[in-house]
Amino acid sequence: MASISISPGRERRRITVTGVVQGVGFRPFTYALARELGLSGSVGNTSAGVVVQVEGDPTDIATFLRRLASQTPPLAIVESITFDTIPARGGTEFIIEDSVAGIGRTMVSPDVATCAECRSDLTGPAGRRHRNPFVTCTNCGPRFTIITGLPYDRPNTTMAAFPMCDSCAAEYADPADRRFHAQPICCPDCGPRLRLVRPGVESSWDEAALAEARRLLLGGAVVAVKGIGGYHLACDATDETAVQTLRKRKGRGDKPFAVMLDSLGAAQTLANVDADSAALLTGPRRPIVLVERRTDPPYPDALRLAEAVAPGGPDLGIFLPYSPLHHLLFGTQGDPPGPRALVMTSGNLAGEPIVIDDDEALVRLSGLADAWLVHDRPIQVPCDDSVVRVLDGAELPIRRSRGYAPGGLPLPIAATRPIVAAGAQLKSTFCVARGREAYLSPHLGDLESDLALRAFDADLSLFLAMLSVQPEVVAHDLHPGYLATKWALEQEAELVGVQHHHAHAAACLAEHGREGPALAVVFDGTGLGTDGTLWGGEVLRCDLRSFERVAHLEPVPLPGGEAAIREPWRMAAVYLERAGRPVTWERWPLVRESLKVNAPLSSGMGRLFDAVAALLGLRERVSYEGQAAIELEQLAGEVEAEPYGCGVSGAVIAGSDLVRAAHDDLAAGRPAAEIAAAFHEGVAAAAALACAEAAEPRTIVLSGGTFQNLRLLASSRTRLEELGFEVLTHRRVPPNDGGISYGQAAVAAARTSRLSV
Ligand code: ZN
Ligand code: ZN
Ligand code: FE
């Protein structure tokens, strides 16, 4: 072998970059940077992150390191850059190494909204991908929802069936191209095709299909539109009849629909969109953002939504187009008029998982849609739209799914063996944990149907394959009736039962990287306690391993069990009796009989909210979970009121004190909005009082579904901070049951950690 001459002064460094650096265009970025600076070496993906070797002039290497940290691709999040010096080898080439499959695989990236460059390919002057509904690049497009196996390479995506044409193949292979190794790359010559399907009518294709879909939508039809993570049911959000039709067909009750708008400008004519919400709306994840509706449309011909979109409520769920097809549906310059605002609701029946399969869409959505806008790029993993609220500039996740899943979450105590956490029943998710990372599944719907259970099984298999682990520890809720618990109990693994509200608290601790100890205020619907009653108005002292119950809402019977959750007036009646006030509902004497046979005890905070909502005449029956509480929050708005007094004696928070005060004010003619406000403040003040009595530790987490309520969350936090506590709230996983599995995983990791003995 000839000796290699190495010029003096040359250096070689081995650099490891960790964070979100794989599948986000990091290798081509590194390649381009090294070439620009005249450095040789290589870049590759390993289980530790991206590993780069560069060799050349020390000044150039220093520049390389600086720019590596500061000019990363849009989707990359660099957590650390470490390097050491190794012997120089000479050479002039810089090589991109292939990914290595195997142990310690990293997860695929979440799906990413169409980037600005692809958008101009789509709408700009004619190019290869002008008006192509499948335009993507390294910086955007479907990822998680098209993966069929690992490693994440074209053959392991649902694009495998589309051989690249020569032009696409050249772009795919060119490190200097924006589409270098963009797995879903395609063009009109080699990619999927759009098709409009209508019963009894011959299908139309491509531009004709798109034009037909836009015409149908404008004419008031409901069109099933195949999206990124599943089918949507779409209709013109300004068309009262169309929206009412969709509402009726979907069996939606009064639950508000989310609305997709073509631009931030349109969103601003409908709602008060602050800078943080605007950043979320236009960012790469594109969740549905719940914002406050404008009551003062800015000019006479401003966009007006149909009443039936979100009846009565002051809030609106809005989102912006995130796939090229969405942009095309709204139309581009020169198109005939189309819809200006679209109701876009998950293509499913209430509680079922979102439909992803084309044949299934035709069957399951047959009573719901008038036409189907489909294409032949299969969706592999169902992923509903994510939903967030914004409080003081931070996200409060309500549903963490498309754009977020399967992004990793921290585990403060490492899982020494792989863990699967099965989650709860409603808003179900599961969580797979390995080492210091936890991966939360997308939203699976309510785990009550075979369809949801099938989605659970399929997604779990995929997660296990992606992470190449087998579960050795399985964590589950204590409720024996949950399908997730039943599933867990059948697994051959070490089982860890985690109390529901401890899991909520642990989720909040863990997402902040904390082990505790802390106090936890967990206000929730209902979850099974360790004493066999239903809990849900809890103050716990806990860490990730264990908890003690330091205070709780006074338990009351739920008359008729589940029926009491569907009919909040029953809760009002129970609470009024306890408060020593008359119950005027004529049905009460009859329903009261159920107290003798079916009335489980519950300390659920959600039920107290239900009671006050019913008392104020908001709602005697609900058509979806949490409806009464949501309407009570909306009624309270930002009305100022002194808190109602609420006794906290011993370990018991006397919820009936609040109901008595509300009743008496109502009888005295005080406006309902003020009563709702005083009630919210009273609950927050009671939480603060209970924590003040518990005194230690000085850190508090706020979790549980009731803390989706921004007024309660903000007021509780302020009151606790005024008492000198450090307060942690959810920013990455939902406070509702969608976050339970992550909390279970954090507890299971802590309890099975080898370091814990
Ligand atoms: Zn792009
Ligand atoms: Zn092509
Ligand atoms: Fe819960």
Ligand nearest to the CA of 191: 2
Q: Per-residue pLDDT for 241 more than 90?
A: yes
| Mean of pLDDT values over 131-156 | 90
Ligand nearest to the CA of 190: 2
Rounded Cα gap, residues 351 and 356, in angstroms: 15
Distance 9 CA to ligand 1 centre (A): 40
Ligand nearest to the CA of 172: 2
What share of the chain in percent tops pLDDT 90?
Answer: 75
Distance 428 CA to ligand 3 centre (A): 11
Structure confidence at residue 7 (pLDDT): 66
Structure confidence at residue 5 (pLDDT): 53
Distance 462 CA to ligand 2 centre (A): 29
Distance 377 CA to ligand 1 centre (A): 17
Pairing of strands 518-528, 473-477: unpaired
Distance 47 CA to ligand 1 centre (A): 26
Distance 734 CA to ligand 3 centre (A): 10
Mean pLDDT of the chain, nearest integer = 92
Distance 169 CA to ligand 2 centre (A): 7
Distance 162 CA to ligand 2 centre (A): 9
Ligand nearest to the CA of 536: 3
pLDDT category of residue 650 using cuts at 50, 70 and 90: confident
Ligand nearest to the CA of 159: 2
Ligand nearest to the CA of 128: 2
Q: Per-residue pLDDT for 654 more than 60?
A: yes
Which residue type does 314 have?
P
Distance 530 CA to ligand 3 centre (A): 14
315-324 pLDDT tens trace: 999 999 999 9
Ligand nearest to the CA of 605: 3
Distance 141 CA to ligand 2 centre (A): 16
Ligand nearest to the CA of 117: 1
Q: Per-residue pLDDT for 327 more than 80?
A: yes
Distance 563 CA to ligand 3 centre (A): 18
Distance 187 CA to ligand 2 centre (A): 4
In the numeric block, the tokens 């920013």 are attached to 731
| Mean of pLDDT values over 726-745 | 98
207-237 pLDDT tens trace: 999 999 999 999 999 999 999 999 999 999 9
| Mean of pLDDT values over 171-185 | 90
Ligand nearest to the CA of 135: 1
Q: Per-residue pLDDT for 671 more than 90?
A: yes
Distance 740 CA to ligand 3 centre (A): 7
Distance 625 CA to ligand 3 centre (A): 12
Name all domains of the chain by residue range, CATH numbers in brackets: 11-96 (3.30.70.100), 194-387 (3.90.870.40), 405-515+738-752 (3.30.420.360), 519-731 (3.30.420.40)
Distance 704 CA to ligand 3 centre (A): 5
Distance 629 CA to ligand 3 centre (A): 15
Distance 706 CA to ligand 3 centre (A): 9
Ligand nearest to the CA of 498: 3
Ligand nearest to the CA of 479: 3
Q: Per-residue pLDDT for 104 more than 60?
A: no
* Six token digits for residue 136: 């993507």
Residue 406: is the preceding peptide bond cis (ω within 30°)?
yes
Distance 287 CA to ligand 1 centre (A): 18
Structure confidence at residue 102 (pLDDT): 43
Distance 524 CA to ligand 3 centre (A): 5
Torsional sign, CA 368, 374, 376, 380: negative
CA within 13 Å, CB half, 340: 14
Distance 94 CA to ligand 1 centre (A): 25
- Residue 640 exposed, middle or buried by CB count within 10 Å (0-12, 13-18, 19+): exposed
Which residue type does 185 have?
I
Distance 190 CA to ligand 2 centre (A): 4
| Mean of pLDDT values over 706-717 | 97
Rounded Cα gap, residues 286 and 288, in angstroms: 7
Q: Per-residue pLDDT for 101 more than 80?
A: no
Distance 500 CA to ligand 3 centre (A): 6
pLDDT category of residue 252 using cuts at 50, 70 and 90: confident
What does each C-alpha distance from 149 to 160, 356, 465, 592 come to in angstroms?
Answer: 11, 18, 7, 56
Ligand nearest to the CA of 522: 3
Structure confidence at residue 756 (pLDDT): 43
Distance 703 CA to ligand 3 centre (A): 9
pTM of the entire predicted model: 0.92
What share of the chain in percent tops pLDDT 70?
Answer: 97
Taking a 5 Å cut-off on Cβ, the residues next to ion ligand 3 are 524, 527, 737
Structure confidence at residue 526 (pLDDT): 86
Structure confidence at residue 2 (pLDDT): 44
Residue 420 near residue 440 (C-beta atoms within 8 A): no
Q: Per-residue pLDDT for 150 more than 60?
A: yes
Distance 643 CA to ligand 1 centre (A): 51
Distance 377 CA to ligand 2 centre (A): 14
Structure confidence at residue 99 (pLDDT): 62
pLDDT category of residue 668 using cuts at 50, 70 and 90: very high
Ligand nearest to the CA of 116: 1
Structure confidence at residue 105 (pLDDT): 53
Q: Per-residue pLDDT for 346 more than 70?
A: yes
Distance 406 CA to ligand 2 centre (A): 29
* Sequence-ordered alpha helix ranges (H) in 616-739: 627-636, 655-667, 672-694, 710-722
Rounded Cα gap, residues 733 and 739, in angstroms: 5
pLDDT category of residue 299 using cuts at 50, 70 and 90: confident
Distance 302 CA to ligand 1 centre (A): 31
Distance 132 CA to ligand 2 centre (A): 11
Distance 434 CA to ligand 2 centre (A): 38
Phi-psi region of 110 (alpha: psi -120 to 50; beta: other; left: phi over 0): beta
Structure confidence at residue 50 (pLDDT): 86
Structure confidence at residue 106 (pLDDT): 61
Q: Per-residue pLDDT for 745 more than 70?
A: yes
- Triad 136, 439, 275: Cα angle to 5°: 60
Rounded Cα gap, residues 198 and 216, in angstroms: 11
Q: Which residue has the higher pLDDT, 255 or 625?
A: 255
Give every CB contact of residue 209 below 8 A, 6+ residues apart in sequence. Answer: 194, 195, 196, 203, 373
Q: Per-residue pLDDT for 79 more than 90?
A: no
Q: Per-residue pLDDT for 536 more than 50?
A: yes
Distance 388 CA to ligand 1 centre (A): 24
pLDDT category of residue 460 using cuts at 50, 70 and 90: very high
Distance 260 CA to ligand 1 centre (A): 20
Ligand nearest to the CA of 136: 1
